[in-house]
Structure 1
Amino acid sequence: MQMTRLANSQGLEILHDGHRTRLKWHRLRKRVADPLFSAEVMAEGFAAGASMELDLRVRADGGFVVLHDRELEGETTGHGPIAAKTIADLRDISMRDGGRPLILSEDLAAMMQATHPAALLQFDMKDDYEAIGTHGIEHLAVHFRDITASVIVSGGSLDLIVAVKEKLPHLLRGIDPTDKLYDIRQASGWGAAEMKLRADLRGPTEPDTIYLHWQLILDAAKDGLDLIGLCRDEGKRVDAWTFTLKDPGAGFSEEEWRSFSTLMALKPDQVTTDEAPATERAWRLRMPG
């Protein structure tokens, strides 16, 4: 998928040294002040050509709901594990922030009909294949087989992403090996982590994008391992997650600037952030040319 240049819009991309890095709106928020998983912000992003992310949790009936946590208490007015709830249970509760209705997977397809050609929506699957199973994969196939908007399905479960590839081959795929790479690095060093990453890049998921924690990328680079370059050599994109300014109004602190400018020098394809417009603005103030 070619990334289209987007003009006269805020919080979409940064241009540095001839390379374009998209700014992805984390959990459907353009800025931290936006409500979590906002349908209104998603519509704005679709119109502007933004890259956006939402989380999906599996329900007891095999469908999904747009939430991050396993339990309902933190993000909604409900109680208990999401995996034990049906669509009927979830229709009766709302988001804690603003009393908005939950976004269910059945609703998503209808919300994605009119989109800018450059818009990209990431479905970040928070459950593994054992929890989702063939029932959940079939649900995705039924509701998203005719989607024309660009969607990328991501997760830490390689078995899940392979199942998505087999059932929904027209959707893009992403994998997040961050936790695994941290563990391997700690136990056996960067060499072993590099070998595992290369194996995953060449594995059966056939991913388009690799999601890596930005601090992991910088830690590896400090020790001489360019994870972004490694992925690019294998024909993969890299999303560096999640870099959010502590004080959006003030811009980068000196520590944040050192980290972010080092990250940008490594040329990630995308940076996940909760403050996309503020990050773009702060970058331009530091790099006026």
Structure 2
Amino acid sequence: MSRLLYACGRVALLLACSMSAMAADRTDDIRRKFDDPSAGVFIAAHRGCHNASPHQKLEAAPENSLAALEHCVKLGVDMMELDVRRSADGALVVIHDATVDRTTDGKGKVSDLTLAQLQALRLKQNMGAQMSPDLTDERLPTLAQMLGAARGRIMINLDIKDDDIYAQTIAEAAAQGMARYVLVKSFVDRDAAGVGADDPAFAAVPYMPIVGAWTAKGGGAGTVQVVTRQLAAQRRPAGVELVFLPREQLAPVRKLAASGGVRLWANTLTSVGVISVIGMGGDLEALRTSGRAWGDLIAAGVDTIQTDEPGPLLDFLKREGILH
């Protein structure tokens, strides 16, 4: 009997180790894809997979929730974007707004509430507010909980809402064994010289500068100069994110990203009023036109799309034979 138990124990251990290795391989595969723009279109789900994906039989989930992460894993999305703030007692929590009013059954500033108070709240369905006021059983997660759930399964894009928590957030990613599998980004301006890439605080994680309308003031040379400086940094950024970039500047920025071997990231977040290229459509237009808005961006050289509609985007890529 003891030999049998010993043998069963070894089998269980081997199976557990095998499953762990397979999970690690999953995130390593995603990271390799992210590092190689030629490997195919990379999909980031904005605040997780919170909108319903009928074709994949997934209902809606609260934004920035553990359920939204689970839906992303089921869909096979490459990366989940989430927002990080700090509670009154110093805990890092995942929530977009400075207050809990829109997305939970509570009221008040995140920075005025303790972790215990925050986790006593229930998350509203999807994006909350009056559009989705129904309460769910989901609770507001800590960053550690989200990173732990993501480990070995999906990459995470950290949208850090306060400048004074960058170091703490990156340290948490490292503590959770996720430093290689998160992406940290920050806005840069025309005077910035390799801001994140050469900052020691960002050394442990992939970094991406955000450029857009503010760098383009005074002519297209502004954005080109900013991107050129970022790509010339001692530590090359992982990509370049665009926000409200004038359309005529897309081609030169795309050329720079391609020559630097980094990803060109576009937002199609029309549900929250954010797009990457002025005059080019977003998610809502894509849904109306069988994906044309996504296709136009990809044809223009975009290789990474952050979307609120990851399910339909995946359907489009598969239908068009674009998905690797």
User: Counterparts of 1:173-184 in structure 2 under 5 Å?
Assistant: 173-178=207-212, 182-184=213-215
1:103 and 1:285 map into 2 onto residues whose CA distance is 35
Unaligned segments of structure 1, at least 5 residues: 5-14
Are 1:112 and 2:150 counterparts? Answer: yes
Q: Deviations over 1:118-169 (max 9, x none)?
A: x321111122x2x43xxx624641563351561112232789x749963563
Q: What letter is aligned with 1:156?
A: F
C-alpha contact 2:211 2:223 (8 A) present in aligned 1:
no
* Match of residue 90, structure 1, among 104, 114, 118: 118
Q: Which residue of 2 aligns with 1:23?
A: 43
- From the superposition, tell whether residues 264 and 38 of structure 1 become closer, same or farther in structure 2 (CA, over 3 Å): same
2:141 and 2:99 map into 1 onto residues whose CA distance is 16
Q: Which residue of 1 aligns with 2:226?
A: 196
Q: Which residue of 1 aligns with 2:108?
A: 80
TM-score (norm 1): 0.73
* Match of residue 233, structure 1, among 259, 264, 269: 259
Q: Which residue of 2 aligns with 1:273?
A: 307
Tell me by how many angstroms 1:108 deviates. 2.7
State which structure, 1 or 2, has the greater radius of gyration over its C-alpha atoms.
Answer: 2
Q: Which residue of 1 aligns with 2:64?
A: 37
How many residue pairs get matched? 256
Q: Which residue of 2 aligns with 1:121?
A: 156
Q: How large is the RMSD of aligned CA atoms in angstroms?
A: 3.5
The higher-RCO structure (CA 8 Å, 6+ apart) is 1
Q: Alignment identity in percent?
A: 19
Q: Which residue of 2 aligns with 1:65?
A: 93
- From the superposition, tell whether residues 163 and 101 of structure 1 become closer, same or farther in structure 2 (CA, over 3 Å): farther
Q: Deviations over 1:193-239 (max 9, x none)?
A: 211232233347742122213x5274424xxx432221222232121
TM-score (norm 2): 0.66
2:170 and 2:317 map into 1 onto residues whose CA distance is 38
Unaligned segments of structure 2, at least 5 residues: 1-30, 53-59, 126-135, 270-281
